[in-house]
Structure 1
Amino acid sequence: MTRRDATDRYESTTRLIDIVFPGDTNHHGTLFGGTGLALMDRVAFIAATRFGRTPFVTASCERIDFRQPARVGHIIEFTARPVKAGRRSLTVEVDMVAETIIGHQRHICTRGIFHMVAIPQGEGAAHYALPELVPEEAPERNDAVAMVEIVFPDQANGAGRMFGGEAIAYMTKAAFVAASRYAGRLVVLASSERIDFARSIGIGEIVEARARVSRVGRSSLSIETKLWSEHLLTGERHITATGHFTMVAVDKDHRPAPIRDNAPAEVVSPGEGGA
């Protein structure tokens, strides 16, 4: 296998979005440093594999600067970008940003450098080399939420396929983040209208949930969510599931509350009363 044309590879900048739950925090109510570091390493691995389309291992990490904490209830977003490529070594820069649901205040929590090493296998492994690193164009503004993860054995059944419940939970999380960012306040799940599964997802595959607000009422939001599966080494992608969720914005007493006035006009449905 020779050095591949960089135009053949999939977009390698990768984002992983999660939410800080109480089980992920210390007695101060802030995210454990080890948990944050593990998520940074995971997204670095996904970004490296998407870049090289071969198995990778983490060789080392450096300059892990913990600047500010992420607290319970914060949305945390990890962005991984390959910044230097050798023949089989790849340097990935990872940022971790925390975001409050109310007010959308964002701050960088952690930044670090991860050195990944490709370990190609099979025929042609001896001649494998990473593709040339080409600067990516700035992405177009997109209000949709995209979340990536890898399917691990504890998320799969005896046949090595991701549990349907795990897929639904992941789609619901993406819908929650999309609705929260749009509403600018806490939201709760009111209903799941329909979920259609098109194919199964195997252990080791990347799953990517994309969620967007499709309709807005007085205090309710309809969220359209699609779940993609992606083969880690070939980059082949498939639509795995689609779902529609209804979220309701609530106040501090958990009662339905009006959605902010500056909602995008194109998704506002005239006459919709909401919840």
Structure 2
Amino acid sequence: MVVVDMVWPDQSNHHGTLFGGAALSMLDRLAFIVGSKALRGSVVTASVSDLNFAAPAPAGHLVECTAEVLRQGRRSVTVGTRLVAEDLLSGTRTECLSGEFVMVRQAESTATAPVSPVATPAQAPQPYPSKPPVFTEGGKASATVAEIVFPGHANHRGLLHGGPAMEWMAKAGFVAATRRMRRTIVMASSEKLNFKAPAHVGDVVEVTATVIATGRRSIHVHVDMWAESPATGERRHCTTGTLVFVAVV
């Protein structure tokens, strides 16, 4: 699974780079998502190992987080993670952090989806590509943001509030548009947002943004937001819309 995020000043240390704790939080969040999908239940972090801080991620850069299952048992899964920083204007990419997270399914989970009782052998880490990959969906620039709906994101009914939902959609759209233009951009408008179904506290939310049209300065991005229950795998198409970004002269 590959998702993106941005390094903002409030996540940075006094050197102007991503604080180590914030970087670990990003990887832990993705390990939770991948572990929940693999074990189909409520999981917690049991241990973290083989952490390697290879390079800093400057504020203003995109960070791309990758996670894959390395070993899986009946109640635990080992997830290999990697964090790469990307300069959105130049496309230059730097591997910053890697590590392994052991996620354990809680005993009270009522999930009934089958899991493998036999541990699978660990896969050797793939070499980091020397050239930037092409980020496309159907031949068009794209980006995916993944989040977990926590109580602070929800309203009094335990449903995802529209504010955080729009923030996550804007983030994914910003990354896709900037990757397409490789210029400084700002959001100009939202042509339409349709809220079709709710996302609940505890759900995993995935937002996919794809560039659908470009002009000399404007970029139209289609966004889709899906919510998934970690325990059951039920997916709901929550929101769809089109965002318009403009390149700054």
Q: So what's the TM-score if we normalise by structure 1?
A: 0.80
Question: For residue 98 of structure 1, what is the aligned residue in structure 2?
Answer: 85
Shift in CA distance, 122/175, structure 1 to aligned 2, threshold 3 Å: closer
In the TM superposition, residue 77 of structure 1 has moved relative to its aligned partner by: 1.0
Shift in CA distance, 176/131, structure 1 to aligned 2, threshold 3 Å: farther
What amino acid does structure 2 have at the position aligned with 1:75?
Answer: L
In the TM superposition, residue 237 of structure 1 has moved relative to its aligned partner by: 1.0
1:155-194 CA distance string (max 9 Å, x none): 1111101111111111111100000111112210011111
Shift in CA distance, 63/220, structure 1 to aligned 2, threshold 3 Å: same
Residues 226-265 of structure 1 aligned to structure 2 (within 5 Å): 226-250=224-248, 255=249
Question: For residue 262 of structure 1, what is the aligned residue in structure 2?
Answer: none
1:189-234 CA distance string (max 9 Å, x none): 0111111100111100011101101111111000010111111111
Shift in CA distance, 124/41, structure 1 to aligned 2, threshold 3 Å: closer
Q: Distance in 1 between matches of 2:41 and 2:110?
A: 12
Instruction: Give the one of 25, 29, 32 matched to 1:42.
Output: 29
Q: Which structure has the highest strand share of the two? A: 2
1:111 aligns with 2:78: no
Residues 61-210 of structure 1 aligned to structure 2 (within 5 Å): 61-121=48-108, 129-130=115-116, 142=137, 143-210=141-208
In the TM superposition, residue 76 of structure 1 has moved relative to its aligned partner by: 0.5
In the TM superposition, residue 15 of structure 1 has moved relative to its aligned partner by: 2.5
Unmatched runs of 5 consecutive residues or more in structure 2: 124-134
Q: Distance in 1 between matches of 2:111 and 2:157?
A: 30
Give secondary structure in 2 for the equivalent of 1:179: helix
What amino acid does structure 1 have at the position aligned with 2:63?
Answer: I
What amino acid does structure 1 have at the position aligned with 2:144?
Answer: A
Shift in CA distance, 95/52, structure 1 to aligned 2, threshold 3 Å: same
Question: For residue 129 of structure 2, what is the aligned residue in structure 1?
Answer: none
In the TM superposition, residue 85 of structure 1 has moved relative to its aligned partner by: 1.2
Give secondary structure in 1 for the equivalent of 2:64: strand
In the TM superposition, residue 107 of structure 1 has moved relative to its aligned partner by: 0.8
Question: For residue 263 of structure 1, what is the aligned residue in structure 2?
Answer: none
1:30 aligns with 2:28: no
C-alpha contact (below 8 Å) 1:16/1:149 kept by paired residues = no
C-alpha contact (below 8 Å) 2:71/2:121 kept by paired residues = no
Q: Distance in 2 between matches of 1:82 and 1:120?
A: 21
C-alpha contact (below 8 Å) 2:30/2:67 kept by paired residues = yes
In the TM superposition, residue 151 of structure 1 has moved relative to its aligned partner by: 0.4
Q: Pick which of 85-94 and 189-198 moved more.
A: 85-94
C-alpha contact (below 8 Å) 1:88/1:130 kept by paired residues = no
Q: How many residues align?
A: 234
In the TM superposition, residue 130 of structure 1 has moved relative to its aligned partner by: 4.0
Question: For residue 258 of structure 1, what is the aligned residue in structure 2?
Answer: none
What amino acid does structure 2 have at the position aligned with 1:117?
Answer: V
Q: Distance in 1 between matches of 2:110 and 2:160?
A: 29
What amino acid does structure 1 have at the position aligned with 2:39?
Answer: G
Q: So what's the TM-score if we normalise by structure 2?
A: 0.88
Q: Distance in 2 between matches of 1:63 and 1:38?
A: 16
Q: Distance in 2 between matches of 1:107 and 1:238?
A: 35
In the TM superposition, residue 124 of structure 1 has moved relative to its aligned partner by: 8.4
What amino acid does structure 2 have at the position aligned with 1:51?
Answer: A
In the TM superposition, residue 135 of structure 1 has moved relative to its aligned partner by: 10
In the TM superposition, residue 145 of structure 1 has moved relative to its aligned partner by: 1.4
